[in-house]
Structure 1
C-alpha cells in the first residue's frame, strides 16, 4: 500500500474496481479505458472526461466485498490524499535534499515532474500500448497484446495477451523470469516468508492447449513451441 502510494495513483479501491470492470467488459463501452476509442483515450483521455454511462452501470454490478473487508485497502481509501502528499511528493523531494545536498528546485523538478510523469505514463502504457501493438500468442481473438517495451518500463506487466487469457495467474506472464518480470519475483519472494499466499497459476498443459486452440502460433515464444 505504501509503495502504491509512492506511485501516486488513485486509491487502491478505485483501481481494483476499474480493473475488474476492464477485464469483464474489455474493449466495450463498459471498459473504463476502452482501447477501441484510440490510443489517447486508453492512455490518459479516459481520466479527463466523464465516464461512459455503460461503465457507470457495469461498475455498480462488480462485487467488491472482499476489498471493502480489507482494512489496508480501506485505510488507503480514507487517507488517499494524505498518503499521496507524504509518499509521492514530500518524501521523494526531501530525500535528495537531505542526503545528497540537492537543491530544492532540482528535487522538485526530478521527483514531482520527471519521476512522477514517467511513472504515470509507464503505468498507463499497459492500458494503451499493450492493447494496440504487439503479439497475441495466447489468444488471437482478443485485442490485448504482449509487448516487450511495456514489460521493460513496468517491471514485467507487458505480457498482456497472456494476462487477459489467464487473468487468475499471479505472474501475469507465462514465464516468471523473462521480459524482466520483476513483479512476479517480488510476489514470489514474499511467498517464501508467508506474506503472499494462495498463488494461482494455470498448468503448463492448459496453457499449451489454449495456444493450439486460439493462439497465434506464429508469435508463440520459442520456449513453448
Structure 2
C-alpha cells in the first residue's frame, strides 16, 4: 500500500471545478451571514439557544458517532446511542453516515496523497472547503471498491439511513426544527429559516469539516523543522496528537481538535460510558506505546501490529474506580 500511496502522490491529475457546488456554497454562506444579522437584531433568546443546542448535538454526532464509533470502531454503543448519532449526523447535511465513513477511510488510507480528498499538503483552505469544489480524483471509484465496509453494512440503522436519507433529511433539518421554533417560541419564519436553518447548517458543517483539516491547525509536522514557525501558536496549542491519531486511529481518547484524553468530546464519551450507553472503549497507555515501539525496533515488525498487541479495552467503571482511589490519597 505504501508503494501505491507514493505513486499516487507523484501523479498529478487535473480536477475540474464543480460549479454547482461553488454556487451552493456561496448561497449557503451568504444566507448564514444574513442569519447572523437576524440573530443579533430580531431572533428571540430561546431561538438562539435552541439553535446552538442543535449545533452541539450535530457536532457530537459527527465526532463521536461517524468518526470514532463507525469510522474507527473506537468503542461499541447501544441502539439508543446509535439512533442519537444518526439523527444528529442528519442535522449536519453531510449526506449519509455510510458515505461519510467511506470517505474518511479513504482519507486515512491515502493521507497526504493526491487521492486524499482533504490533502493537508495543499493547505488549510483546501482541506477545509475548497477541495469539495472539484471533481473527485479519477481513481476515486476504484479506491472506493477496495475499502472494506462490511462492518458498516452490518449496522441496520446506518443502512436504513442510507436508503431513506433524502426522505429523512428534510424532516429532520427543516420541518421539525423550524416548526418547533415557530410553534413554541412564536418566532417568525424568516428568522427560523435563516438562523435555525442556514446559519446552523453552515456552522455545523465547518465544525465537521475540521475533523479533516484540524491537523493543520493543531498538529506539528515532525518532518518539517519549521512547522512551529506560525502565528497559530498564539491562538492554539499545537502538538503531535493529531499525528498520533493517524497512527492509532482507534484510540477513543484522541480529540479531533488537537488534544488527547481531555476536552468536551472525550468527557461526553466518559459520561455516556458511565450511563452504560457505550462500552469497550479502546485505548492504549503510554507504556504500551513504548513497549510496542521497542518491540517493532527489535523484531522489525510493523509498528501498528505491535501497538495492536498492546491494546487494552478500558471500561469506564475501572477508570472511575482509579479516579476515586487516587482522589483519596
Could you state the TM-score of these two structures normalised by the residue count of structure 1? 0.75
Q: Is the 8 A contact 1:32 1:55 kept in 2?
A: no
Alignment equivalent of 1:161, drawn from 243, 249, 272 = 243
Alignment equivalent of 1:53, drawn from 138, 149, 172 = 138
Measured in 2, the distance between the counterparts of 1:176 and 1:83 equals: 35
Alignment equivalent of 2:109, drawn from 24, 30, 33 = 24
Larger gyration radius, structure 1 or structure 2: 2
Q: Is the 8 A contact 1:170 1:200 kept in 2?
A: yes
What residue is the counterpart of 1:72 in the other structure? 157
Alignment of 1:102-121 (within 5 A): 102-121=187-206
Secondary structure of residue in 2 paired with 1:119: helix
Shift of 1:148: 10
Higher relative contact order (CA 8 A, sep 6+): 2
CA RMSD of aligned residues (A): 3.2
Secondary structure of residue in 2 paired with 1:60: helix
Alignment equivalent of 2:128, drawn from 43, 50, 59 = 43
Measured in 1, the distance between the counterparts of 2:110 and 2:235 equals: 25
What residue is the counterpart of 1:34 in the other structure? 119
1:87 maps onto 2:87 in alignment: no
Count of residues paired in the alignment = 199
Runs of 4+ aligned residues of structure 1 deviating over 6 Å after TM superposition are 144-151, 208-211
Structure 2, gaps ≥5 residues long: 1-85, 298-329
Shift of 1:72: 0.7
Could you state the TM-score of these two structures normalised by the residue count of structure 2? 0.53
Measured in 2, the distance between the counterparts of 1:10 and 1:100 equals: 29
Alignment equivalent of 1:124, drawn from 178, 195, 209 = 209
Alignment of 1:75-224 (within 5 A): 75-128=160-213, 130-136=214-220, 140-141=222-223, 160-173=242-255, 175-177=260-262, 181-207=263-289
